[in-house]
């Protein structure tokens, strides 16, 4: 089942990855996550590591999404060249920025992504050309709206064809309203509610991030389609704290 089919049927659940060891990514697959977001915006990974993570995701049976370093042609094209199932683009605030992301992620006629068919995504040139160029345009494009400016332009952003998921970044949003880190502040939750209503009205799938089980439950109940819960290294450290510190005798 593709990731899109999964979130059309039920909430898809995954986490961010900020490790350089592909074993974590593979293990996330065995643990039953629907997706893993390999983070090039805030994580330490190089393109070489991204390629190994994408291979490990396939082996473990988890869909791989790359959060691009930034909203530019090279970051988005290179992320997709790795063969990942999709790309997530941070910090989209304007219609022009949203169109730029779509254009960088899609080949003609939907966009102007840089063409090279000798990349991992095209089995290093062995995939049938027409298959590659048509299937590449089906890769997921996830846009992050995480600032007040993006919220103000949301109706027009959501009308742009080619956006599979509108992803709210609660932490950046909290900074944008002057309360960095306070993701449960009413200013943030009200904006999130507004974004959720607009995305649903535009029939665009909705995603977000959370780092508490209460919010995970709340977002599932609110009908979010794609939820990233926390970060692999944080899940590991929280589990270690629970096992080794809380139970110390």
Active site members:
42
User: How far, in Å, CA of 230 to CA of 233, rounded?
Assistant: 9
Residue 37: CB minimum distance to ligand 3PY, A: 8
229 forms beta bridges with 210
170 in contact with ligand 3PY (CB under 6 A): yes
Least distance in angstroms from the C-beta of 65 to ligand 3PY: 12
| Number of neighbouring beta carbons within 10 Å of residue 179 | 15
d(CA 226, CA 7): 6
184 interacts with ligand 3PY by CB under 6 A? no
Work out which of 24, 209, 219, 229 binds ligand 3PY, going by CB under 6 A: 209
What is the nearest approach in angstroms of ligand 3PY to the Cβ of residue 68? 12
CA-nearest of 61, 60, 5, 14 to 37 is 14
CA of 20: how far to CAs of 50, 119, 198, 204, in Å?
A: 9, 21, 37, 32
x/- mask, ligand 3PY, residues 113-152, rule CB under 6 A, reads -------------------------------x-x------
Q: Which residues bind ligand 3PY (CB under 6 A)?
A: 144, 146, 169-172, 209
């Amino acid at each position: 089942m593709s990731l899109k089919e999964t979130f059309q049927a039920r909430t898809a659940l995954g986490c961010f990855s900020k490790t350089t060891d592909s074993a974590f990514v593979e293990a996330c697959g065995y643990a039953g996550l629907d997706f893993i977001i390999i983070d090039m915006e805030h994580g330490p990974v190089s393109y070489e590591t991204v390629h190994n993570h994408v291979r490990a995701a396939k082996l473990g049976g988890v869909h791989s999404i790359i959060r691009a370093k930034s909203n530019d042609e090279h970051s988005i094209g290179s992320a997709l060249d790795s063969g990942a199932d999709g790309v997530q683009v941070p910090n989209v605030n304007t219609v022009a920025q949203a169109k730029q992301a779509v254009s960088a992620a899609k080949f003609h006629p939907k966009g102007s992504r840089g063409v090279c068919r000798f990349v991992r995504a095209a089995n290093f040139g062995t995939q049938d050309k027409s298959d590659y160029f048509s299937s590449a345009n089906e890769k997921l494009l996830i846009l992050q709206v995480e600032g007040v400016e993006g919220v103000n332009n949301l109706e027009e952003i959501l009308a742009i064809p080619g956006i599979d998921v509108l992803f709210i970044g609660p932490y950046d949003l909290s900074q944008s309203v002057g309360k960095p880190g306070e993701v449960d502040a009413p200013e943030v939750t009200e904006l999130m509610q507004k974004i959720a209503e607009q995305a649903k009205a535009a029939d665009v799938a909705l995603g977000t991030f959370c780092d508490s089980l209460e919010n995970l439950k709340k977002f599932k109940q609110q009908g979010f389609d794609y939820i990233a819960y926390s970060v692999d290294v944080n899940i590991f450290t929280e589990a270690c704290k629970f096992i080794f510190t809380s139970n110390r005798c």
